[in-house]
Structures are given as C-alpha cells and as structure tokens.
Structure 1
Amino acid sequence: MKSTIRDVAKLASVSVGSVSNVFNGKNVGEDIHRRVMEAASLLEYTPDAIAKKLASRKTQFVGLFVANDEKEMFFSSLWGFLIPIIHGIFKVAETQDYSLHLDFSTLQKVKRKNLFNQIVKEKSLDGIFIFLRWPIDYELLSELERESFPAILINGSLPGVNIPSIKVNNLEGAKAAIDYLVKLGHSKIAMITGPPEFLDVKERIEGYKESLARHGIPYNPTIVRKGDFFFKSGYAHAKELIKLKKRPTAIFCANDHMAAGAIKAVKEENLSVPKDISIVGFDDQIIAEMLDPPLTTVRQPLYQAGILSARRLFNIIKGKIHTSFQEVLDTKLIVRNSCASQKK
C-alpha cells in the first residue's frame, strides 16, 4: 500500500502541514526537515505532483498571446521577430517547470471572446505574456488589472494601464540609424515605415523625425512611404522613391524585410547600394547579413526581452514583485556594407 503524507507526519512526529512545507521548499527548522526526509525515505514516499499542483492551485502553465492582423500572422517578418522572444521565454519557463501555451488570435477574436478576462475567471493559466503590436482597448485588459492577475506586456505599454511592460527602445534605435546616415553626409533621407498604427512603428517614425530636426534637416513627407513590413512594399516604395526628380540618397526602412525589397529595387535601376543609395533596416533578423550587400540595421535584443519578461512574470507569480513597472531595453546599430558616405 502506498504511503501517504499522514504516514510521513506520524513517523516523523510532526504535523501534516510541516511535511507539506518541507516538500514545497518552505523554511522549516533543520531538525524537522531532517526527520521528515528520513521518514519519507523509510516509507519510500514521493509527493504526488498533481496533488502538489492542486494544493498550490497552480496549473504550471503560462500563456503567450499574440493578438495580430490575420494577414501578418503567417509571414516570416512576424516570425523572425517572435521566435527569439519565444525562445527566451521558453528557456526560463523550463527552469521553473512550467509549460508555455501559445495563442495566436486576431484582435477580432480577442474582443469577441473577451479572452483575457475569461482566463482570469477560469484561472486556466498562472500568468500571461501579451505581445503588443496594436493598441488594445483598456476594457480587454481591465479584469487582469482589477484582479492583479500576473501579466506582462511585451513590445509596448498602454497609457492608463497598470500592467508591467517590457519593450525595446524603438525611438532611440531610429535616431541612431538617422544620426549615422547624417554623419555620412546624407540629408535627403527617405523612410519606408511599417503600419503607422503599430506601437513600435509610431516610435520609429518619431525617432526619424526627431533626429532630422536635431540636425536641422526639414521633415519632408513626400519621401516618407507607408509600408506594411513585407518585402514587396519595400520594393514598390523604393521604386517610387528612386524615380523622384530629387531622389533621396538614403532610405531608412522600418524592418529588414522591406530593406531587402529596397535593395532589389535599387539594383534593378542599375544603381549601386551603397554608392548611389544607402539603405538601413531595423531588427537585425537573419536575412540582414545574408543580403548583398550585407545590411546595416538596428538590432533589437529580442531574446533578452523574452528572458527578462519570463523572469519578471515568474517573480510576480511567486509574489516577489508587487508593483507595476516598465523596462526599456537598448538597441544597437549594426554597421555592415549597405551605407556609404554621400558624394559631395
């Protein structure tokens, strides 16, 4: 017959609660700890993992929710961005004996099912990561905040929402890219943006404008094009920019996939990258160093963002963090061969 926790308590001459404390890693006296472990060894007692979970009311699951546009969901531009974050979260979750649940839902589904509030009521997860690309209505997150449910916003924060967040400094990353081009002598610097409603894109556009202003270069909306993060939009918009009477000497693209499209467009017009037109990307995805020429781009610390987000969430789950916070991670300009000094 299998030994129970009560058998261990009786043999060790301690309470059932003391045995539970020992096996849940809580502080007990050395003598109690020794007696419990000796009794458990003699009785060949092993605590039931499922019973432990039920007792602690923990599911040992956390969720990563990516609320996104259906069009982008299955394209490499999103996955190249997400995989390092998922990798970082997974590495930490594994050390905590947690499994990671991935949910790729459209914003429409999130709104229709009131998804996050449903998780709080059902307690189906111990905590959640919410990957923010689009602004989310406060009401969709309200239950998380009211119930102090363990949650981390990744890739952005929302005004008036008291939920911890971890994001990359897109503003300073864009500034660094434009500062570098200005240092090379460029003043006609175009930009191919991503969807302007995206939180990170808004910051990159703002960084572009702020850097131009700091260097006394007027903002020219005629050389700013609205892209969609896909190769084809970088290609199409670069074609338009190249054919302008006063064409730009440099193009800043809001991600690497559009920069790849821009490089192709420039080459097709029998122009050189970087001699005729310099090109800078953003993200430093694997495609960046495979291009010809290799792409100068802004590196985002995405793996580190995943690691940090997971560490913070598990500390919240354990009750080690009780206040909201916002952490901003620095980017780094990676200089390769797609930029050159502007001819005088």
Structure 2
Amino acid sequence: MTIHDVARVAGVSIATVSRAFNNPELLSPDARGAIEQAVQVLNYRPHVAARRLRGSRTNLILVVVPSLNPYFLDIFAGAEDAAKAAGYGVLVGHSERVLSRERDFVEQVAAGRADGLILVTTVGGYDSDDITRMPPSVIALDVGEANDLPKVQIDHVAAAEMITSYLIDLGHRRIAHILGAPGSSLTSHRLDGFQRALARRGIAYDPALCLPGDFTVDGGATAAAAIVTMADPPTAVFAANDQTAIGALQFFKSVDWRVPEDISVVGFDDERLAAIASPALSTVHVPTYQIGFRAMQKMILLLASQPIEQDTTLEAEVVVRRSAGPPRALQPKSAN
C-alpha cells in the first residue's frame, strides 16, 4: 500500500494525505477522519500514520534484546538512564534471536504501543522497503548486513582481529575459534576479524579449528571437549564471547589441562564474570552501558525530529588478564 492508495480510498488528493501525516492540525476533522480510516482499512504499516494523525504519544521506548543475560541488560541499563533523563519510560523485549519474534516487536511499536524501538543486535537485515515502513528505530551493538537504520556500535571485526593478534603476538600459530550462535551478525563479524588477523600475519585458516557454538557456557564446554580429542590440538582458543570462553576454560580444567600453561583461552565482551573467572579471562571490553545510553539519546533526538549522527562507533579494547600466555614450546624452562 502507498500514499496513492490512501488518497484514493479517502477520496482526497495525495497532497492532502501528505499534509495529514506531517501537519494534521491544518486539516478539518472530517478530512483527518477520512484519511485515518483509509490508513486503517489499507493497513498502511499499519497504524503509524494514523497515530501521527491523532498526535498521540506513549512516552515509552521498547528495547529488544536477544537474551536476558547481564551483558545485554547492561545495554538496557544505559538506555533506561538516558530515557529517564528525557522523561521517557522503557520496556524490554526478548527476541531469543528469532527473526519472527523481532518483527513482532517492530509491529507492536508500529501499532502505537511505544513511540520508538531500539534493537540490540538485530537478528536480520531490513531492506529499503522495510526501513521506509519502520517506526522510529535505532540499532545498538551490531547490525545485519543490509541495514541503513541509525546505529551505535563497536567495530566487531576490528576488535576480533585485535584479540586474535594478541594471541599471535604471544607466539600462537595454531588457534581455534569457537563460533557464536548461528545466524547472529555478532558471530559472522567476529569470525571475520579472526580470519583477517590470521591472513594479515600469514597464518593459514584451518576450518577444522573453527568449532560450532551458541554463546553459552555449555556450548563452550562442548567445543572444548572436541578440542581435547584432536590429534594436533590448538595452543590457544578465541571464543566468540565470554560465556563460551568460560565454558571452555572450565572443561579444560576438568580434564587437567592447565590454562594458560597448556592452552590459552580468550573471550569477547568483558562481562562481569570475566574478571572473577579462574584464571581471570583476557577478553575484549565492550562499552555496553555507553552503547545503550548513546542509542537512547539518538532515539530521543529522532523522536524530536532533530538531526542525528547516522552511524556512531565506540571504542573497544583488549583487556589482558591471566588466561593467556605463550605456547608451551615458547615458555621459559623452570630451573631444577
């Protein structure tokens, strides 16, 4: 459905429909009513235009996260603080990394249940037609490949390259990577960074050292169990997130592989549990609270029809702790 269809059903000109969407106070109540009815009959995406006609606001923003772990809740906390300062309330939705659930949340905001939408690591890309029909939306943390929505993120590819290069600098040449959840842009971008680091240092990528995962502790343990059975195991592991890394670390310890003496393990995200793991986990620090805060600030400006920076990229950094060291062949010999 297009604005032409709305004009035809309402029995008015296209210019009148456009004026109704942008300056409804300039039209008579009868004209506004006819256009609102046409919008509803035609399901014109589906009630955003009608809500604008009514001029109603909920003063609520919906933040959709892929899971309810503390990492994503830190992003929500930043968004909530920024919203509170601007007089908005915040709701949280849980997509479980399922595209249909994410799109359901988009439809709920479009139907007027909230004024705007922050998607934390969107499950799938939205094409140009989708974007023209989206309610006011901002993406936080990471984006799909075909996405032109405003965003606040880090460069996951560059950050994954940094943590992999850290292992290479320690002397590791045979490095395993435990993937994240299938279909996640975080998974693909962090894999890209891993492969880019190997290529830039002249190390051949071995698909056998790329193991499936799902961003969970159990997934990390399963991958580690596969690693210990390899005839030529890696000397280091880069896990797609900290939970995966800790699952791997715990499994290695359960079979008497010492970390980092026998195998090094690094993660990504710098969740709170990374610092209290045993040994403490080397990882990539992601400024989660700031990502949520900045994304909400951008949303507030968007709702006020103020100019915004389309793409905002915050800095990530490698945090060195105790879970990584040189491979055994390069470790100093102990004095006897």
Question: CA offsets per residue over residues 241-295 of structure 1, 9 Å max, x none?
Answer: 1221111110111111111111122222222111111110111111111111101
SS in 2 for 1:283: coil
- Paired letter, 1:287: L
Give the corresponding residue for 2:319: 334
CA distance in 1, matches of 2:144, 2:221: 33
Q: TM-score, structure 2 length as denominator? A: 0.76
CA distance in 2, matches of 1:213, 1:172: 13
Question: CA offsets per residue over residues 47-98 of structure 1, 9 Å max, x none?
Answer: xxxxxxx9973321111123x4xxxx4xxxx512211101101111111111
The percent of aligned pairs where both chains have the same amino acid is 27
Gap change, CA 1:280 and 1:166, over 3 Å in 2: same
Give the corresponding residue for 2:60: 61
Give the corresponding residue for 1:5: none
Give the corresponding residue for 1:250: 236
CA RMSD of aligned residues (A): 2.3
Q: CA deviation at 1:189?
A: 0.6
CA distance in 2, matches of 1:329, 1:58: 31
CA distance in 2, matches of 1:233, 1:161: 29
- Paired letter, 1:91: D
Does the CA-based 8 Å contact 2:122-2:143 persist in structure 1? no
Gap change, CA 1:241 and 1:294, over 3 Å in 2: same
Equivalenced residue count is 275
Q: Does 1:221 align with 2:220?
A: no
Question: CA offsets per residue over residues 149-176 of structure 1, 9 Å max, x none?
Answer: 4210123334554321122211111111
SS in 2 for 1:63: strand
Does the CA-based 8 Å contact 1:89-1:309 persist in structure 2? yes
Give the corresponding residue for 2:124: 135
SS in 1 for 2:172: coil
Q: Does 1:165 align with 2:151?
A: yes
Unaligned regions of 5+ residues in structure 2, if any? Answer: 1-52, 331-336
Q: CA deviation at 1:101?
A: 1.7
State the 4+ residue runs in structure 1 displaced beyond 4 angstroms: none
Q: CA deviation at 1:209?
A: 0.3
Gap change, CA 1:329 and 1:58, over 3 Å in 2: same
Does the CA-based 8 Å contact 1:241-1:247 persist in structure 2? yes
- Paired letter, 1:209: Q
- Paired letter, 2:59: Q
Give the corresponding residue for 2:28: none
Does the CA-based 8 Å contact 1:242-1:248 persist in structure 2? no
Give the corresponding residue for 1:107: 99
Unaligned regions of 5+ residues in structure 1, if any? Answer: 1-53
Q: Does 1:123 align with 2:112?
A: yes
